[in-house]
């Protein structure tokens, strides 16, 4: 009798050990109610167009922020989860392209099927320590968008990559660096409440002073990247994913040509360079299965390429608004 009890116990322990090792296993990942809810919701809406398994002549641009095993913020993903994303891209036949390939595509060039562009916003130190080694191991290109004034500094809770670390990544030939403003990644009190600093004048700021302030920021950031990193690639990522026609006009005056924003949807050769959409991939609960679904929901039917207004927001209404 006692022998049987011990045997049953041993078997139970073995099973639970095996279960704990299952990758992507929904039992081991936090924050899954959403995924389950999604698939449950999915089955309810048979009328929704089927999500394609592949796509061509378009690129889905992904946004990550921080990659760090310790930092528990919603925009910080663990190195393990990030590597799971990378493995999913490989297993599902995605092609991660470089910024150079992407810009060539916008000018009419070719692009592989299921093309993805990886971008990292803000310049968190964790990207250099944890994401970069994984990208190197898989020989994958990516772009980091840096707030020039934060480089090498601690800002709030976070340490940001130094110029030396950025140069080190440049030397790999895999990492492109772009501007996320000089010192425009903050909010101010505007005429209608809080506003991203580059988007509109302050409550008591004259339009001319606002325009001078924003042009200065664009010019200073371009000079920083030219002098410190020998970069002059014309790409700019909008702080908070926010912009205004005046801001874009001033950015162009300073020499920027491509403006990355948020808002969801895929990029085609007809996408205006002033508003290049991206989707958030760096939420700490974004498991690979959900990310794959999320990417494919951005895909536009080929027939809509080039038609304004067809913004490709075919997602489940849950285009997460990322904050920065
Ligand atoms: Zn940002």
Tokens of 262: 């948020």
Domain hosting residue 197, numbered range: 52-302
Q: What is the pLDDT of residues 278-316, one digit of tens each?
A: 999 999 999 999 999 999 999 987 666 554 444 444 443
How many other C-beta atoms lie within 10 A of the C-beta of residue 40? 10
Contact yes or no for 136/168 (Cβ under 8 A): no
Distance 272 CA to ligand 1 centre (A): 21
Q: Strand pairing partners for 188?
A: 195
Would the pLDDT of 89 be above 80? Answer: yes
35/278: higher pLDDT: 278
Q: What is the pLDDT of residues 178-209, one digit of tens each?
A: 999 999 999 999 999 999 999 999 999 999 99
Task: Single out the residue of 166, 266, 277, 264 nearest to residue 224, CA to CA.
Answer: 166
pLDDT for 155: 81
Q: Is residue 317 part of a domain?
A: no
Distance 23 CA to ligand 1 centre (A): 31
H/E stretch holding 189 = strand 187-190
Distance 225 CA to ligand 1 centre (A): 17
120/158: higher pLDDT: 120
Distance 162 CA to ligand 1 centre (A): 17
pLDDT for 322: 36
> How many domains in the chain?
1
Task: Indicate the pairing of strand 95-96 with strand 115-122.
Answer: parallel
Distance 155 CA to ligand 1 centre (A): 13
Q: Report the pLDDT averaged over residues 251-261.
A: 98
Q: Could you give the CA distance from residue 316 to residue 42 in angstroms, rounded to a whole number?
A: 9
Distance 121 CA to ligand 1 centre (A): 5
Distance 303 CA to ligand 1 centre (A): 33
Q: Is residue 37 part of a domain?
A: no
Distance 164 CA to ligand 1 centre (A): 21
For the ranges 7-11, 113-117, 156-160, which has the lowest average pLDDT?
A: 7-11
Q: Is residue 23 part of a domain?
A: no
Global pTM reads 0.80
Torsion angle of alpha carbons 283, 284, 288, 293, nearest 10°?
-30
Distance 322 CA to ligand 1 centre (A): 9
Task: Indicate the pairing of strand 187-190 with strand 193-196.
Answer: antiparallel
Q: Which CATH number covers residue 81?
A: 3.20.20.370
Q: Is residue 22 part of a domain?
A: no
pLDDT for 47: 58
Contact yes or no for 305/270 (Cβ under 8 A): yes
Q: Is residue 232 part of a domain?
A: yes
Q: Is residue 29 part of a domain?
A: no
Would the pLDDT of 214 be above 80? Answer: yes
Distance 63 CA to ligand 1 centre (A): 10
Q: Average pLDDT, whole number, for the chain?
A: 86
Task: Indicate the pairing of strand 95-96 with strand 76-77.
Answer: unpaired
> Interior CA angle at 298 toward 69 and 84, to 5°?
25
Q: What is the pLDDT of residues 97-153, one digit of tens each?
A: 999 999 999 999 999 999 999 999 999 999 999 999 999 999 999 999 999 999 999
The one-character DSSP state at 259 is E
Q: Is residue 36 part of a domain?
A: no
Distance 240 CA to ligand 1 centre (A): 5
pLDDT for 300: 81
Distance 235 CA to ligand 1 centre (A): 14
Distance 52 CA to ligand 1 centre (A): 31
Looking at the chain, the whole-number percentage of residues with pLDDT higher than 70 is 78
H/E stretch holding 175 = strand 175-179
Looking at the chain, the whole-number percentage of residues with pLDDT higher than 90 is 72
Q: Could you give the CA distance from residue 234 to residue 266 in angstroms, rounded to a whole number?
A: 21
Distance 324 CA to ligand 1 centre (A): 3
41/210: higher pLDDT: 210
pLDDT for 109: 97
Distance 123 CA to ligand 1 centre (A): 8
Q: Is residue 112 part of a domain?
A: yes
């Amino acid at each position: 009798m006692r022998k049987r009890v011990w045997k049953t116990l041993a078997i139970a322990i073995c099973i639970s050990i095996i279960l704990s090792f299952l990758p992507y296993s929904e039992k081991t990942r936090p924050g899954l109610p959403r995924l389950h809810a999604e698939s449950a919701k999915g089955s309810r809406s048979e009328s929704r167009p089927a999500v394609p398994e592949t796509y061509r002549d378009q690129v889905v641009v992904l946004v990550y922020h921080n990659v760090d095993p310790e930092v528990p913020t919603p925009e910080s993903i663990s190195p393990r989860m990030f590597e799971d994303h990378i493995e999913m891209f490989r297993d599902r036949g995605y092609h991660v392209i470089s910024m150079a390939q992407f810009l060539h595509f916008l000018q009419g060039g070719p692009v592989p099927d299921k093309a993805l562009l990886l971008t990292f916003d803000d310049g968190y130190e964790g990207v250099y320590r944890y994401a970069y080694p994984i990208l190197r191991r898989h020989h994958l290109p990516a772009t980091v968008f840096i707030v020039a004034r934060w480089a090498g500094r601690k800002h709030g809770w976070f340490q940001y990559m130094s110029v030396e670390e950025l140069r080190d990544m440049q030397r790999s030939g895999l990492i492109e660096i772009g501007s996320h403003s000089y010192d425009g990644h903050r909010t101010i009190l505007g005429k209608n409440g809080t506003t991203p600093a580059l988007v509109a004048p302050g409550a008591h700021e004259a339009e001319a002073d606002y325009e001078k302030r924003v042009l200065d920021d664009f010019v200073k950031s371009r000079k920083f990247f030219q002098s410190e990193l020998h970069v002059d690639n014309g790409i700019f990522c909008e702080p908070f994913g926010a912009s205004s026609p005046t801001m874009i006009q001033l950015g162009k005056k300073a020499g920027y040509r491509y403006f990355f924003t948020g808002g969801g949807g895929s990029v085609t050769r007809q996408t205006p360079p002033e508003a290049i959409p991206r989707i958030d991939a760096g939420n700490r609960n974004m498991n690979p299965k959900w990310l794959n679904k999320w990417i494919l929901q951005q895909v536009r039917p080929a027939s809509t390429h080039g038609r304004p207004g067809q913004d490709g927001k075919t997602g489940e209404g849950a285009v997460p608004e990322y904050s920065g």
